[in-house]
Structure 1
């Protein structure tokens, strides 16, 4: 019965914390992230990580990215693909240099320093998606560029990680050609499925004489795409995002949105927000506090400047470029997965694992207020 207590506690605390954050002029998601730290092992210890938290959080982030895909303007995404690519490249080069240089400065050897650089390259826009949604800017030019850049970033970071693991002999039988081939297969299949299969599937299953046939069919597409992505070593959130875009092109878009959002935000998404805070622990961190502060500052600045520079070079104004850079700052669950992979393969030294987790959490926490502060005032208020 413990999971029922956890669920009740998480739902109540996230709603109260989110409301408090809004009253203080911050996005609600910031309060929800912070309450995860308070409830977790770092402070009160009332909620512990476990299979229930992990599975609900996984569903939560998939639904969050599916909804983002639903609300994405595909035409605007096509128009901004050059900017998205430039933002992703800038958001990889600068963070990699910053992470690698920081590691070398602290006496890391080449292998561990290179992996450190790769952790800094990771981006997870699930938190940015929520902030942009709260501000009614998910469909803006900045919002679609951030989403597009995140997809490119995810692919490039996975390829970089595979290259490093192959060179270091820690990746088993990883073949770079096979890995890139899998990425190409994923995008080809997803595009074909989204164009030809999803509309037919929605039209075929929607008339079934059962409750919520349309919503259930949309969830089948979402989880099917996410599973296919994971199967081909892509992040499941990319598959869920692609599924949202595909369903968003059908006549059922608004029906699906009105049905899925209550499911996501009532139960699963709050658990995802809290799960991030559960990774925080302050045990034995005193001796590395300077290291944590430095790598956090480097991680924030390099992503902000790198992503912003990519946007600026492709036609965005100075303020919008900073917004896009800020949207790429959060490392989130993508970096957590990479860090765990490095720990298992020996590319990340165990004594620095907690410091890396704290850096990842800090970049995730700083993203909501950064976006709120940087988004053009006039544009943000006119659309709210």
Structure 2
């Protein structure tokens, strides 16, 4: 019965600390991440990562991105595609060279410096989506650009890491053509399914004489997209996001959103954000304070300036770019 106590602690603490974060002018997600750090092994040790947390958080992550897709203005996303690519590229190049520079400064080998730079280039799509949602900016021009850039960034960095692993790793060599081909296959199938299959599937199965058939079918679509994304080498969250966009183009969007949000945000999503904090460890940090501080400054500034430069070059004013 330990998992019940774990769930009790997570749900109560995330709501209380999330509320405090909002009152202090911060997104609620920040409070949830801090809860994971404080209650996890890094500080109090009351909650430990395990199979239960893992599966709950995986579902929470997929539901979070599915709902983000449901709420995304597809027309705004289409209009922002050039800016999204520019912001993604800027948010990759500057952190890549910034991370490599810091690594070289602190005596890393060239290979390790490359990997550190590549890691700094990555963007958390889920955190970006939740922060924008908390700020009610998900469908703003800036929000659509950030979310689109996060998706593009995720794809490009995965390819970059695969290339680095092929060059410097000890595993089998990776076919770059196959890697890119599978990602293109995902987008082709996702678009085709969103156009031909998803609307028909909801139309045929939503009227079933069972409880909450519409929401259940929407979840089937979400998990099918996520599985296919993973199979093609994409992140499952990209699949869930694409599924949300596909469902948002049907007449069932509001019904699914209205019924699914309470399930996701009452239980699964809080567990996901806490699980991130559970992976934090302060072991060995004391002896590397200089490196941690320097890397943190470079990580923030390079991502900020890289993204802002990409936005500025594609028509955003200075304030919106920042």
Give me the TM-score of the superposition, normalised by structure 1: 0.82
Q: Which residue of structure 2 lines up, in the alignment, with residue 5 of structure 1?
A: 5
Cα distance in 1 for partners of 2:202, 2:145 equals 28
Q: Which residue of structure 1 lines up, in the alignment, with residue 94 of structure 2?
A: 94
Whether 2:178 is the aligned partner of 1:178: answer yes
Q: Which residue of structure 1 lines up, in the alignment, with residue 188 of structure 2?
A: 188
- Displacement, 1:320? 1.2
Q: Which residue of structure 2 lines up, in the alignment, with residue 70 of structure 1?
A: 70
Q: Which residue of structure 1 lines up, in the alignment, with residue 200 of structure 2?
A: 200
- Displacement, 1:307? 0.7
Cα distance in 1 for partners of 2:116, 2:22 equals 35
- Displacement, 1:131? 2.1
Q: Extract unaligned runs of 5+ from structure 2.
A: none
- Per-residue Cα deviation, 1:76-105 (whole angstroms, up to 9, x for no partner): 111110000000100000000001111111
Q: Which residue of structure 2 lines up, in the alignment, with residue 152 of structure 1?
A: 152
1:23-42 counterparts in 2 under 5 A? 23-42=23-42
Q: Which residue of structure 2 lines up, in the alignment, with residue 235 of structure 1?
A: 235
Residues 162, 171 of structure 1: 8 Å contact kept: no
Residues 41, 281 of structure 2: 8 Å contact kept: yes
Q: Name the SS of the counterpart of 2:302 in structure 1.
A: helix
- Per-residue Cα deviation, 1:325-371 (whole angstroms, up to 9, x for no partner): xxxxxxxxxxxxxxxxxxxxxxxxxxxxxxxxxxxxxxxxxxxxxxx
Q: Which residue of structure 2 lines up, in the alignment, with residue 338 of structure 1?
A: none
Whether 2:36 is the aligned partner of 1:54: answer no
- Per-residue Cα deviation, 1:204-237 (whole angstroms, up to 9, x for no partner): 1100000000000111111111111111111111
Q: Which residue of structure 2 lines up, in the alignment, with residue 266 of structure 1?
A: 266
- Per-residue Cα deviation, 1:158-180 (whole angstroms, up to 9, x for no partner): 11111111112434142111101
Cα distance in 1 for partners of 2:130, 2:167 equals 37
Cα distance in 2 for partners of 1:169, 1:56 equals 32
Deviates more, 1:166-175 or 1:176-185: 166-175
Whether 2:279 is the aligned partner of 1:286: answer no
Q: Which runs of 4+ in 1 moved over 6 A?
A: none
Cα distance in 2 for partners of 1:92, 1:316 equals 19
- Displacement, 1:198? 0.6
Q: Extract unaligned runs of 5+ from structure 1.
A: 323-384
Cα distance in 2 for partners of 1:109, 1:25 equals 41
Q: Which residue of structure 1 lines up, in the alignment, with residue 219 of structure 2?
A: 219
- Per-residue Cα deviation, 1:125-149 (whole angstroms, up to 9, x for no partner): 3122222212221111111111111
**What value does the CA root-mean-square deviation take over the aligned residues?**
1.0
